[in-house]
Chains A and B, each alone.
Chain A
Amino acid sequence: MDNFWTTLLYAFLSMFVIFNYGMLLGGVVYKIIARVHGRFGPPVWQPYVNLLKVMGVRTAISHGLMFWLGPVFRFAGGIGLFLFMPVVFGSVWMQNFSFSGDLLLVIYFIFFGQLGMALGAAESGHPYSPMGIMRGLAQVTVSEVPFALAVIALAAQHGTLSITEIVAAQQGGIGNWNMMTNPVATLAGMMAFLGMMMHAPFNLHLAPQEIPVGPPTEYHSNFLGYMQANRAFFASAKLILFMNLFFGGATNIPVLVGKTFTLYMFAVFVGVVNPRFTLENSIRWFIRIPTATGIIAVLIYTFKN
């Protein structure tokens, strides 16, 4: 990782891989949701066609500078989250810039995109956009509470905030995973995970019947293309983060795919069989059991030391 150009090449390579993985993951999830509904669903490559379609739109309306910057911030949030994590532990080219950033930076990047998006969508002037933003930010904020507590418990357990070191401590078999060594924090983290993956019951901010698609109501053509590409990055980056934190990371690509896919299916299956929570219900749910679990996880390490 000494040569700047090699690092850059590796970063682009790993971004290319994860972008395609995220797009295909999206297509597979459409298909799975459709099968649960008893439908055939769109083809697996539909996200690519959708992306091409929005790129092919010939006109675009901008409502101002911040409107234009919103998707850019969102995209930067997704890429930032991805680039500061080790994707495949021990691999040279899928290591990204994990040595330069720690867990706190990664958590910041989860929120960064949402805030940029909030400013951009608010400038569109559509009344449904701020409604979606208010709900989305409340949802993300409240699901960050158990997640942050789980992260604090992990940091106390391993004595570090570096993701690479946390992954390194989990190597050597399933018995060393944080899932086994710190089950309470994992439980809190996985409940927060449900709230972060934008599937039911925690996807009110996207509710298409109530408020049209939430924050991106006014976004179209290439603005929307940015967001679709970001969705591929962001979803797979969040999956990789949770895999690194609780499930031992990955030492090669098949393990990466297997673990992240299984993790995603947890959120998807909870989503397809559950109705949508209102925002009040969702906040109440998060500040009760998940937060309590997170507090217990932190307390265990407080008294242990």
Chain B
Amino acid sequence: MTEADNEENKIIKPDFSDPELFCTALPKEVPRMNNIIQKFYDWAQANSLWLLAFGTGCGSIEMRPLYTARYDISRFGIAPRPTPRQSNLFIISGYVSVKTLKRIIRSYEQMQNPKFVIGLGSCTINGGMYWDSYNTINRLDHYIPVDVYVAGCMPRPEALIAGFDELKKRIKEGRGEGANEYAKNFAWYKANQKKIIKDWDMPDYNW
């Protein structure tokens, strides 16, 4: 986050009477424990990544080979889960259209703390080949916190596996705190999301 972003963060105050805020309560920040149990949990989190099997763009075609005999990510303790409640890793696979962004935010918010995000492909970094499109976002980390980017158009499954390794390293170092960052800078993220999404016609939910 830049200086300007921080300024913006200070200015915007969330107003929970506003129905456009999409939620009824703030997400809670849960601090890390500073002890050996936390390190143990970090190790378990890193070695049991359940990814949300939700393809958001063309990149999801590169995720399918990961489950096959050729790449077999289950070797690394990574398994697809079909529900955001149980997943702790969200792979944003490629371009994010405005329509998809709504679903991404909704799914991301339903995931429980700690949660990790991998941005797959150039489109999540700067828009890629869709950078001037009227209907896609350019920088994913303006809308949800991203842990690791895997660049390329499209990155091969090998690159994605390297991304998993990088993510595991981050988690073990205790830097996979995207969920807390989201809760801390909630107003900033919501303001950015509101700039893009004009009609949030989804039911209310709890965290």
Contacts and interface: CB of A to CB of B under 8 A. Distances in A.
B200 interface: no
Interface in A58-107: 58-61
A208 to B, nearest CB: 5
A57 B88 contact: yes
A50 interface: yes
Nearest to B47: A49
A57 B114 contact: yes
B85 A220 contact: yes
Contacts, number: 89
Contact of B112 (A42, A49, A55, A221): A221
Given A39-B69, A49-B47, A50-B48, A213 B28 contact: no
Contacts of B179: 58
Interface string A24-60: 0000001000100111111100100110110111111
A42 B74 contact: yes
Given A58-B112, A58-B113, A59-B113, A218 B48 contact: no
A229 interface: no
A71 B200 CA distance: 34
B114 A40 contact: no
Most buried by A among B112, B113, B114: B112
B16 interface: no
Please tell me the size bucket of the interface on B: 20 to 34
Contacts of B152: none
Interface string B100-113: 00000000000011
Most chain B beta-carbon contacts within 10 A, residue among A34, A53, A224: A53
A52 B41 contact: yes
Given A40-B75, A220-B86, A53 B207 contact: no
A217 B85 contact: yes
Contacts of B41: 52-53, 55-56
Contacts of B75: 39-42
A39 B83 contact: no
B45 interface: yes
Contact of B77 (A42, A55, A57, A208): A42
A36 to B, nearest CB: 10
A177 B207 CA distance: 55
A209 B86 CA distance: 15
Q: Which of A41, A58, A61, A208 has the most CB atoms of chain B within a 10 A radius of its CB? A: A58
B82 A59 contact: no
A213 B86 contact: yes
The 3 closest A-B pairs by CB, nearest first: A56-B41, A212-B82, A52-B44
Given A59-B207, A220-B112, 15 more contacts: A30-B74, A37-B69, A39-B72, A39-B74, A46-B48, A46-B77, A53-B44, A53-B88, A57-B114, A58-B112, A61-B85, A212-B83, A216-B86, A219-B85, A220-B86
Interface of B: 28, 30, 40-42, 44-45, 47-48, 50, 68-69, 72, 74-75, 77, 79-83, 85-86, 88, 112-114, 179, 206-207
